[in-house]
Amino acid sequence: MSPSKAASRTTTKQSLVPLATLIGRELRSEKLEKPLLIHGQAALAKKGEDFFLIQTDCERVPGDPSSAFSVFGIFDGHNGNSAAIYTKEHLLDNVVSAIPQGATRDEWLQALPRALVAGFVKTDIEFQQKGETSGTTVTFVIIDGWTITVGSVGDSRCILDTQGGVVSLLTVDHRLEENVEERERVTASGGEVGRLNVFGGNEVGPLRCWPGGLCLSRSIGDTDVGEYIVPIPHVKQVKLSNAGGRLIIASDGIWDILSSDMAAKACRGLSAELAAKLVVKEALRTKGLKDDTTCVVVDIVPSDHLTLAPTPKKKQNTFTAFLSKKKDTDTNKNGNKLSSVGVEELFEEGSAMLADRLGKDVPSNTETGLLKCAVCQIDQSPSEVVSSNEAAAIISSTSKRWEGPFLCTICKKKKDAMEGKRPSKGSVTTT
Ligand SMILES: [Zn+2]
C-alpha cells in the first residue's frame, strides 16, 4: 500500500466518524425533544354520564412510531349518555380525516385547529341524524411533542400548570350564565335566554336557553334544543418550553367547587395518578357527590425526568423566592398570561361562525372532479352542488353569499341553522 493511499483511507475514515457522531447526536436530540407523558385518571359516578378517553398510541403516519401523538378527552353527558359515548368513539377519526393526507408534522399541527372544527361539527351532524336527544360537553386534548392543542365545547375545563407556578386556562366556559358573548350570540340567532320559573313566578337557577333549558351555549348532540347551541369548538394551541407542565382536564363536578388555581395548587408535587385522585377527593370532600366527577391529569416532562419536579416552596434562595412570588402575583392578576412562563401561544380562536373557522380556500377538486366538503369530507359532484347552492340560496336568501370552502348540502344546511337562518328542527314550519 502506498503512503498516499493509506493517507486517503485514513481521511475517509476520519470523515465517516463525524458523520456517525452527527447521526447519533441527531437521534439523541430527537429523543430529548420528545417529552414523556405520564397520566393519571380518577372518577366518581353519580349519573353515569361522564366519559373519558386516553389514547397514547396514535400515529400521524400509520405504521410510523416516530409520528406518535396522544389524545386525552372528557365528555360530560346530559339527558342520557349516548352523545358522550358516540363522541368518544368517533370524534378522533372525524378530526384526523379532515387533515390533508401526506402533511408534514408542521403542516399537520397547523391544520389541526381547522380539523377540530370540522370534526366536532361532523360528529354533531352524525349524532343528530340518529334522532337521539342527549348531549355532551367535549374537552379534547391532542399532544404532539411539546405542542398542545385543545378543542372544547361546554364547561369541562383544561388547565395548564407550568413550572413557575403559573396556571392558565386552555378552554373557555361555554355557560350562558357567565359568558356574555355567547348569550348575545344565542339571542341574536333566535334563542331565548332566561332562568327557570317556579310557582309564584320566582326565577331560580342559572341562565338557560329556551326551548330545552340548557345552561350551556355549545355542545355536541342536543337534537331537541335550538341549533344555536352549536358544536363549534373553542380551539387553543400552545407550545411548552422543555421545562414541561401539567394538564388538569376535568368535568364541571370539579370546577363547580375548585378554581383553576386551587386545583393546580392542591396537587403539586404529587404523581399524575395521585393528583387526579386528590382533585376528585377534594371536590367530594367540599360538596359531597352531587354530580359525575372526572379528572385526567397529564404530566408533560423532559424524557430524562421521571416526574415533574415540584414547584420550589421553602428551600430556595432569596432571588428565586422573589421570582416565584412575583409570578404568583401575575397569576392572580391575569390567569391567562402565558408569555411570561415560557409557553408559546400558537393559536386561539373561539368564533361560532363557520366562515371564521374554515378559512377561504377555493373548493378542492379531487382527481375525479368531485368537490370535497370541508366539514364532513364527503365528495359531491358539481351537478349536485348547483342544486344545493340553489337550495341554500332559498333557505338563506337574506344572508351574504358564503365565501368559505365548499360545503355539501347537509353541512351547508347545518351552517345556516347554527346561524339562525333556518328554524330549529323542533319547531313546525310552513314555508
Ligand atoms: Zn359535508
At position 104, the amino acid (one-letter code) is T
Ligand 1 centre to CA of 408 (Å) is 4
- Cα 410 to Cα 31, 56, 130, distances in angstroms: 45, 33, 14
CA of 53 to the centre of ligand 1 (A): 26
**CA 257 to ligand 1 center in whole angstroms:** 40
376: CA distance to ligand 1 center in Å? 4
d(CA 80, CA 26): 51
Q: How far apart are CA 299 and CA 36, in angstroms?
A: 8
Residue 248 near residue 297, CB atoms below 8 Å: yes
Q: Is the pLDDT of residue 6 over 90?
A: no
- Answer yes or no: are the C-beta atoms of 220 and 174 closer than 8 Å: no
What integer pLDDT is reported at residue 25 of this predicted model? 57
Q: Which residue has the cell 481521511?
A: 11
Question: Average pLDDT, stretch 207-225?
Answer: 94
**CA 332 to centroid of ligand 1, rounded, Å:** 44
Q: Report whether pLDDT(224) > 50.
A: yes
pLDDT above 60 (res 321): no
Question: Ligand 1 center to residue 375 CA distance, Å?
Answer: 5
Residues 92-139: pLDDT tens digits? 999 999 999 899 999 999 999 999 999 999 999 999 999 999 999 999
Q: Is the pLDDT of residue 20 over 70?
A: no
Ligand 1 mean position to 372 CA, how many Å? 8
Please give the distance, rounded to the nearest whole angstrom, from the Cα atom of residue 403 to the centre of ligand 1: 16
Most confidently predicted of 19-23, 55-59, 208-212? 55-59
Q: Given this model, what pLDDT does residue 4 score?
A: 44
Q: How far is the CA of 377 from the centre of ligand 1 (A)?
A: 6
Q: What is the reported pLDDT for 126? A: 97
On the question of pLDDT at 31 being above 70, the answer is no
- Measure 232 CA to ligand 1 centroid, in angstroms: 14
Label residue 404 by pLDDT band (50, 70, 90). Answer: confident
Sheet with strand 293-301: strands edge to edge: 36-44, 293-301, 245-250, 157-162, 167-169
Cell numbers standing for residue 389: 347552492
Q: What is the mean pLDDT of residues 302-313?
A: 58
Look at 196-205, 233-242, 294-303 and tell me which has the smallest mean pLDDT.
196-205
> Which structural domains are found in the chain, ordered by start?
34-174+230-349 (3.60.40.10), 180-214 (no CATH), 359-431 (no CATH)
Cell 485514513 -> residue: 10
Q: The C-alpha cell of 162 is what?
A: 407550568
- Lowest mean pLDDT segment, chosen from 70-74, 79-83, 359-363: 359-363
Q: What does the angle CA 239 – CA 240 – CA 244 come to, to the nearest 5 degrees?
A: 155
- Comparing 54-58, 305-309, 394-398, which segment has the lowest mean pLDDT? 394-398
Looking at per-residue pLDDT, the higher value among 14 and 248 belongs to 248
Which residues in 186-292 belong to E strands, given as ranges? 192-197, 203-210, 220-221, 234-239, 245-250
Give residue 410 CA to ligand 1 midpoint distance, Å.
6
Cell 341554500 sits on residue: 392
Cell of 225: 334544543
Nearest to 170 by CA among 276, 247, 108, 262: 247
| Alpha carbons 263 and 246: distance in angstroms, whole number | 11
Rounded distance from Cα 318 to ligand 1 centre (Å):
59
**pLDDT tier for residue 363 given thresholds of 50, 70 and 90:** low
| Farthest CA pair distance, the chain | 110
Q: Tell how far the Cα of 218 is from the centroid of ligand 1, in angstroms.
A: 20
Residues 355-369, mean pLDDT to the nearest whole number = 72
Quote the CA–CA distance of 59 and 325 in Å, as a whole number: 41
DSSP symbols for 63-113: T-GGGEEEEEEEEEEESSSHHHHHHHHHHHHHHHTTSPTT--HHHHHHHHH
Query: In 103-222, where does DSSP find H-type helix?
Result: 105-129, 180-188
Q: How confident is the model at residue 340 (pLDDT cuts 50, 70, 90)?
A: very low
Q: Is the pLDDT of residue 431 over 90?
A: no
Ligand 1 center to residue 421 CA distance, Å?
18
Rg (CA), the chain: 25
Residues with CB under 5 A from ligand 1 (ion): 373, 375-376, 408, 411
Mean pLDDT of 353-380: 81
Cβ(218)–Cβ(79) below 8 Å? no
Beta-strand runs (E) in 322-415: 344-349, 371-372, 379-380
Using the mean position of ligand 1's atoms as its centre, give its distance from the Cα of residue 54 in Å: 28
Q: What's the gap in Å between 370 CA and the centre of ligand 1?
A: 13
The pTM assigned to this predicted structure is 0.82
pLDDT exceeds 70 at position 341: no
Q: Is 427 a residue whose pLDDT tops 50? A: no
Between 196 and 7, the higher pLDDT residue? 196
Q: Identify which of 14-28, 250-264, 303-317 has the greatest average pLDDT.
A: 250-264
List the one residue out of 352, 397, 394, 39 whose CA is nearest residue 186: 352
Interval between CA 94 and ligand 1 midpoint (Å) = 12
Q: Percent of the chain beyond pLDDT 90?
A: 63
The C-alpha cell that represents 281 in the structure block: 377527593
Gap between the Cα atoms of 314 and 254, Å rounded = 29
Exposure b/e, 361-385, CB count within 10 A at least 16 = b: eebeeeeeebbbbbbbbebbeeeeb
Instruction: Give the Cα separation of 158 and 55 in Å (integer).
Output: 17
Cα 245 from Cα 167, distance rounded (Å): 10
Query: What's the gap in Å between 101 CA and the centre of ligand 1?
Result: 18
CB 137 within 8 A of CB 156: yes
Higher-confidence residue of 186 and 164: namely 186
Q: Tell me the pLDDT band of 140, cut-offs 50, 70 and 90.
A: very high
What pLDDT score was predicted for residue 53? 98
Say how far apart CA 248 and CA 41 lie, in whole Å.
10
Mean pLDDT of 194-203: 84
Q: If you measure from the C-alpha of residue 4 to the centroid of ligand 1, how many angstroms do you get, rounded to a whole number?
A: 71
Q: Average model confidence (pLDDT) for the chain?
A: 83
Gap from CA of 395 to ligand 1 centroid (Å): 17
The DSSP result for 146-166, as a single string, is: TEEEEEEESS-EEEEEETTS-
Gap between the terminal Cα atoms of the chain = 97
| 80 Cα: distance to centroid of ligand 1 (angstroms) | 27
Ligand 1 centroid vs 406 CA: distance in angstroms?
Answer: 8
The Å distance, Cα 314 to ligand 1 centre, comes to: 57
